[in-house]
Amino acid sequence: MTAPVIWWLRRDLRLTDQPALLAALSGKGNAPTPVIPVYVLDDETPRHRIMGGASRWWLHHSLASLDAALRARGSRLILRRGRSEDVLVALAQESGARTIHALHHHEPWWRNAERAVEKRLDLRLHHGNYLLPPGFLTNGSGAPYRIFTPFMRALMAHMPPSAPRPAPDHILAPEHWPDSEALADWALISSMPDWAHGFRAEWTPGEAGAAERLSDFAAHSHAYEAEHDLPSKEGTSRLSPHLHFGEISSATVWHQLAGRDDAGTSAFLRQVIWRDYAQNIICSFPDYGARPAKEMFDGLAWRTGVAAEADYLAWQQGRTGYPIVDAGMRQLWHSGWMHNRVRMICASFLVKHLLIDWRRGEQWFWDTLVDADYAQNSVNWQWVVGSGVDANMFVRLMAPLGQSEKFDAAAYIREWVPELAHLSAPAIHDPDVFGQRPQSYPAKIIDHRAGRERALAAWAQCKGNVGLVE
């Protein structure tokens, strides 16, 4: 039998529109090539960026789904744990494989891992997780785009992407399968406590779940522009975790939705482009999740100490006294997901009303979001703070009470903050001001005006310190 090739999987857990798999199957000449699909649980290479608890829950179910799909095609998924380069070298020696196929991954730790593997094995990398390869688009000076709008215009000139290719009907197995670890032994799902019990009702990880989610969204994508900012509506696609884990490709999403002549679908496709934009940013700034792009923000005096820790805990638990913030944080803990508009409100509240370092919020989202994506998470947080290369201004504070009423969040609050379910609008947006706050619901941990003034004072001091240094 022809020597097998290894197909190395990471955040590309699908069979449809999977260039690495198709390349592995093609081999040389007309002889069919046996393929060994392998997923390596590598908690060493990412170091402090290992997957959070919510992502690990998703990964468990996505790997189980992929293994079932592979078995239906005469194959199976090999599971190994350890440093990627060491595991892959050992697997190649065991199996006699000489070549590894994989999709490019652009997080800094995966780029390091790819370079390490390339030094020891014949690693062949393919593009396929984004509309265009990150780094492909450059401006008139030959530099990567930093601002989203010109990036989007440049990308649109290359659309549509190549048509997605179907999954193979059969995957040739090797003569001898190498040993595999058991998925259950990885303990990706926490049982003490079973904090992810709400995830099961909300999500169906895997390629089939992704296809079903896209089909459901396609039926009402025309309403996206009008409804996606309204937390009480089901206006968003909820495709983000499926896209993050590569259970569906951006090209598949694009081809199913593009060509519809309506503002809603066009608005959604801009969000798909934003995903490409964020990935391009971390290629230029690999430490974007830890360092502000604008250095002056290093001088911002974030609050620390006992009072700040108490406020941070209240934010995590959804006990701030601001109903829209609390609804979002409770939805996050229960379902591993939060409505996008509410994510911005909650992030702004932490950074500006509470004056707590944005990196602490980014890390909390990293641990609790099922769609915790390094590029998206860090770019979006730096946008809210104002420290990003294309970002909101720090002095623009989102007023959570006003945002709640503006975006009609009453039903959303009733769902996630049951203590307030009996209140009608407008009192539900700000029970304190209407004298209707029940005893079971906490008072505001800081007044909106006081939080705003404290944030602006800290910003003025930061700018002054930068001026003195200069």
pLDDT digits (tens, 9 = 90+) for 272-294: 999 999 999 999 999 999 999 99
Whether residues 401 and 259 fall in one domain: no
Q: Give me the residues paired with residue 80 across strands.
A: 40
Name 254's Cβ contacts closer than 8 Å, sequence gap at least 6: 131, 159, 160, 161, 269, 272
Helix (H) or strand (E) holding 102: strand 99-103
Q: Is residue 186, in this structure, part of any structural domain at all?
A: no
Q: Are residues 278 and 352 in the same domain?
A: no
Pairing of strands 35-41, 5-9: parallel
pLDDT digits (tens, 9 = 90+) for 362-404: 999 999 999 999 999 999 999 999 999 999 999 998 999 999 9
Can you give the pLDDT at residue 170? 97
Same domain? For 407 and 420 the reply is yes
Tell whether 272 is covered by a domain.
Answer: yes
State the DSSP code for 145.
Answer: P
Q: Alpha-carbon distance 418 to 405, whole Å?
A: 18
Q: In the sheet that 99-103 helps form, which strands lie side by side, from edge to edge?
A: 78-81, 35-41, 5-9, 99-103, 122-126
- Considering the domain architecture, whether residues 363 and 454 belong to the same structural domain is answered as yes
271 shares its domain with 374: no
Q: What is the CATH number of the domain that holds 61?
A: 3.40.50.620
Phi, psi dihedral angles at 55 (to 5 degrees):
-65, -35
Residues 388, 368 within the same domain: yes
The pLDDT value recorded for residue 470 is: 32
Q: Is the peptide bond before 241 cis (omega within 30 degrees of 0)?
A: no
| Structural domain harbouring 403 | 295-469
CATH of the domain at 322: 1.10.579.10
- CA pseudo-torsion sign 56, 60, 61, 65: positive
368 assigned to some structural domain: yes
**Separation of alpha carbons 120 and 86, rounded Å:** 9
CA-CA distances (angstroms) from residue 225 to 222, 268, 410?
7, 7, 20
What six digits make up the tokens of 66? 């992929």
| Domain limit, last residue, from 103, 128, 153 | 128
Enter the DSSP assignment of 353: I
Residue 183 in domain:
no
Residue 469's pLDDT is 37
Instruction: Establish if 200 belongs to a structural domain.
Output: no
Closest of 125, 126, 9, 6 to residue 66, by C-alpha: 9
18-49: pLDDT as tens digits: 999 999 999 766 678 999 999 999 999 998 89
What's the CA gap between 369 and 154, in Å, rounded? Answer: 31
Helix (H, G, I), strand (E, B) or coil at 77: coil
H helices of 78-146, in order, are 84-95, 108-118
What's the CA gap between 380 and 293, in Å, rounded? 12
Q: What was the pLDDT predicted at 197?
A: 81
Q: From the CB of residue 368, how many other CB atoms can be counted at a distance below 10 Å?
A: 22
**430/349 same-domain check:** yes
Q: Is the pLDDT of residue 322 over 60?
A: yes
- Supply the mean pLDDT for the chain: 95
Please indicate, yes or no, whether residues 256 and 334 belong to a single structural domain of this protein.
Answer: no
Do 420 and 332 reside in the same domain of the chain?
yes
* Tokens matching residue 348: 């702004």
Where does the pLDDT of residue 468 fall: very low under 50, low under 70, confident under 90, or very high at 90 and above? very low
Sign of CA dihedral 359, 361, 364, 370: negative
Same domain, 459 and 388: yes
Could you tell me how many residues make up the chain?
470
**Of 287, 286, 292, 303, whose CA–CA distance to 357 is shortest?**
303
464: exposed, middle or buried (Cβ count in 10 Å: 0-12, 13-18, 19+)? exposed
The answer to whether the beta carbons of residues 98 and 92 sit under 8 Å apart is: yes
Stated pTM of the model: 0.96
**Does residue 431 form part of some domain?**
yes
Backbone CA torsion sign across 332, 338, 343, 346 = negative
Quick one: average pLDDT of 435-449? 96
CA distance 291 to 461: 20
Shared domain for 261 and 115, answered yes or no, is no
- Kindly report, residue by residue over 145-193, the tens digit of the pLDDT: 999 999 999 999 999 999 999 999 999 999 999 999 999 999 999 876 6
Judgement on whether residues 247 and 342 belong to the same structural domain of the protein: no
CATH number of the domain to which 263 belongs: 1.25.40.80
Q: Are 126 and 103 in contact (CB under 8 A)?
A: yes
- 104 — alpha (psi -120 to 50), left (phi > 0) or beta? beta
Distances (CA, A) of 447 to 36, 245, 300, 454: 59, 40, 21, 11
Torsional class of 74: left (φ above 0), alpha (ψ -120 to 50), beta (otherwise): left
Q: Give residue-wise pLDDT tens across range 96-148.
A: 999 999 999 999 999 999 999 999 999 999 999 999 999 999 999 999 999 99
Residue 190 placed within a domain: no
pLDDT per position as a tens digit, 40-84: 999 999 988 999 999 999 999 999 999 999 999 999 999 999 999
Q: Is residue 173 part of a domain?
A: no
Q: Are 217 and 237 in contact (CB under 8 A)?
A: yes
pLDDT band for 259, please (50, 70, 90 cuts).
Answer: confident
Number of folded domains in the chain?
A: 3
Q: What is the spatial distance between Cα 425 and Cα 428, in angstroms, rounded to a whole number?
A: 5
Task: Please state, in angstroms and rounded to a whole number, the distance separating the CA atoms of residues 84 and 44.
Answer: 8
Q: Measuring CA to CA, which residue among 102, 101, 111 is closest to residue 49?
A: 111
